[in-house]
Amino acid sequence: MKLEGKVATIIFKNDTNNWTVLLIKQKSEYITCVGETEDIEVDDELEFEGEVVAHKVYGEQFKFTSYKKVLPKTSAALISYIADNIAGVGKKTARKIVDAFGDDTVNVIRFSMDRLYEIKGLNTEKIESMNEFFNTEWEKWNTIEFLSQFQISTIVANRIYQAVGKDTIEIVKENPYSLLGFVKSLDFKVVDEIGRSLNVPLNNEERLDNGIIYAINKITEFGHTCVEKESLFSYCIELLQVDDAEISQSIMRLTLNQKLFIDKVEEKDYVFRQSMYWAEENVAKCIIEHTRQNIKQKDISKLIDKVSENNEIILSEEQKNAIFTCLNNMISIVTGGPGTGKTTIIKCIIDILEEQKKNYVLCAPTGRAAKRITQTTGKEAKTLHRLLEISKIDDNDIDMFYEYQVKQIEDEVVIVDEASMIDIMMMNNLVKGVKPSTQIIIVGDVNQLPSVGPGSVLKDIIQSDIVPTVELKQIYRQSAKSDIIVNAHKVNDGVYPEFKSKDTDLFFIPTKTIEQTVAEISSLVSYRLETYVPLDTVKDLQILTPIKKTELGTGELNATLQEILNKKSLGKNQVEHMGRIFREKDKVMQIVNNYDKKYSIEGKFFEGIYNGDIGYIKLIDNENEKLYVEFDDERLIEYDFDELEQLEHSYAITIHKSQGSEFDYVILPIFTGYKKLLTRNLLYTAMTRAKKMLVIIGNKNVLNYMVDNLESKNRKTGLKEKLEKLLYLNEKSKK
């Protein structure tokens, strides 16, 4: 249904997702309208398309799916419209214009602006400004109305208009698929609906080419960097409804234009998108170049003995070998599970580098991972974003991320911790930042979850057997006393974990229902854990869950836990946003990269807060609509209320979000979920997040299923093959 009226008040506007609550005046009535908007102001005349809904809190509302601006229809409205939007033209002059031209005012302004010189008080600058404004507004809203017939929202339509301009309608009619070149965030299926409505032939070249790029992106969005050619064919035939000859011709065309690449992976043809292929190629080249450089072998045994003595530790032969390998190769890897001494090795390497007066930089993929390695080594670690000065980039635009110009690293040695979290695009940016003379030391647990982004960088490099790698297997004395660590290694080996009833740091509480599982979590958090160990249940305890939805997902658990751990009270400010209540002292997480957020540490100014950073709400200033979050006990970040979509509660977080972090106490509900996601390395990663105590609550059968499920380890990538191929070509050229 349609609804038309004037904007009386903009009650709320979220600039992150454009969600808006409006009060619309219709004759003598006021109606609350909700939906996504852009570029609207009080007194705008709007026509909405939508339906009346009953909100359980706010009552009856008009929820719109699209809207358009309506040029003022009355003389009074037109006078206000001109005066409000044209600089230097007040209501008195606007009334003269409307009185002079009546119903023809808009046409005179748009098409016969010379006639406006008749009006006293107007000069060339004002007349041209008026003409430009009315034409731009008319063209934009005419375009938006045109696109709305294809079920394109006003927000997306406005984005298209901003990118394409006044010729949008003509361009769409001529070839709608060209829009994908202007607005990269557009979904191919949306544009394809326009194409079908306009009777564009199914075998149109731009349709096929863009459809194949869309298909490869969809198939590879679960971490793969490439897709088997046969699978791509099958998917594209179904998506595009053309025969395999058309698909074959389009793939050949895209390959010739270097938008796609076909390469062998495990003796089969795989198709890569351009940026993925070149990212892998660049990483492989850098690695091969580093392995070809020889470091004059030094006997550093005395230095190793010295630093071990200074740190009051006795290093095993395995650890000494790891230190020697790292310091005597231009690129090296140290991998191993919890308790195998990776951090000890990093500390010893740093001490030796300082003895040798070498410049080094310590870095990690995320803020929490960088903070953890800073705490364990006592040396500053930077995030890769901060080290490479990556900012102001669309994280969804992989081509832009591939082409990004990073800062060059001047240090002699780069030590990268938590390397299992690094995806191929970030690894490509890292290798762009290092010089051929930069020594690279990579540390990580290859058995943890792979990176959220595409690729299996650490695994691929290790499996290529090209980079000198030390795998730490020995669990050291202190760690061997931990049932968490011992059982995490068992899980990694495919053995079901064993649970004791006492003298342990690993507990299992069996439950029969989801409700019982939630009840157990609630009672542990409310009082049971505090009677067992001294802890701050907000800061020291973390609930990890495999899922986001259902009663055991992050959404429901956070609502429950907030009422237990941070109840509403008179002295505590709070603000409601999009159905969620943020309260002072709440534990929250940043869920998108925001490269513009500024903060200072010890007088130095920095920019950027990143997806996965956890903090605590320090202050809510309702009067000025500001909220302040303290991250890592040092970064105080200010948020406007309309930026709160960037935050979510983090009493409970997903296991994926916990990568690179450690928590003293962890509760892990394992009861239900999407079976393909319940994998061995998900369980292993969750278990290795806990330092002092891990409590698993749920169903033993589901737990054992996770131990048996290896599915997530099968990402399709081409880095290993590229490394082997480049090595072969280099060896061949020497002969």
pLDDT at 320: 93
> 334 pLDDT exceeds 80?
yes
Question: Strands 45-55 and 29-36, how do they pair?
Answer: unpaired
Q: What percent of the chain has pLDDT over 90?
A: 46
> 73 pLDDT exceeds 70?
no
CA distance 659 to 654: 9
The residue whose two tokens read 């990890």 is 544
What tokens does 231 get?
């699978």
226-275, pLDDT tens digit by residue? 999 999 999 999 999 999 899 999 999 999 999 999 998 888 999 999 99
Looking at the DSSP bridge assignments, the partners of residue 619 are 628
Looking at the DSSP bridge assignments, the partners of residue 64 are 50
398-442, pLDDT tens digit by residue? 777 778 888 999 999 999 999 999 999 999 999 999 999 999 999
What is the reported pTM?
A: 0.79
pLDDT at 419: 95
What confidence category does residue 583 fall into, taking pLDDT thresholds of 50, 70 and 90?
very high
CA distance 234 to 158: 35
> 684 pLDDT exceeds 80?
yes
17-31, pLDDT tens digit by residue? 678 888 888 877 888
pLDDT at 295: 81
102-135, pLDDT tens digit by residue? 888 888 888 898 999 988 888 999 999 988 888 8
pLDDT at 408: 94
CB 142 within 8 A of CB 172: no
587-605, pLDDT tens digit by residue? 999 988 787 788 777 777 7
87-105, pLDDT tens digit by residue? 888 888 989 999 999 888 8
153-209, pLDDT tens digit by residue? 777 777 788 888 888 888 888 889 888 877 767 788 888 988 988 899 999 999 999
Which of 469 and 551 is assigned the larger pLDDT? Answer: 469
pLDDT at 394: 59
What confidence category does residue 147 fall into, taking pLDDT thresholds of 50, 70 and 90?
confident
What's the whole-number average pLDDT of the chain? 88
705-727, pLDDT tens digit by residue? 999 988 766 789 999 999 999 98
CA distance 517 to 510: 8
E strand map for 211-367 = 226-228, 260-265, 268-273, 331-336, 360-364
> 395 pLDDT exceeds 60?
no
pLDDT at 673: 73
Distances (CA, A) of 177 to 140, 141, 189, 204, 259: 20, 21, 10, 9, 16
287-332, pLDDT tens digit by residue? 999 999 888 777 888 898 898 888 888 888 999 999 999 999 999 9
* Coil/strand/helix, residue 84: helix
How many C-beta atoms surround the C-beta of residue 258 within 10 A?
10
> 447 pLDDT exceeds 80?
yes
pLDDT at 178: 85
Which of 84 and 269 is assigned the larger pLDDT? Answer: 269
pLDDT at 335: 96
pLDDT at 158: 77
CB 394 within 8 A of CB 367: no
pLDDT at 396: 56
CA distance 633 to 646: 20
CB 119 within 8 A of CB 109: no
The residue whose two tokens read 């454009």 is 18
Region of 578 (left: φ > 0; alpha: ψ -120 to 50; beta: rest) is left
pLDDT at 233: 92
Q: What is the mean pLDDT of residues 514-524?
A: 94
Nearest Cα to Cα of residue 543 among 564, 558, 530, 563: 558
pLDDT at 310: 86
C-alpha dihedral, 668 to 672 to 676 to 677, nearest 10°: -30
Q: Return phi, psi of residue 29, to 5°.
A: -95, 155
Q: If you write DSSP's letter for every residue of 709-722 in order, what string do you get? A: --GGG----SHHHH
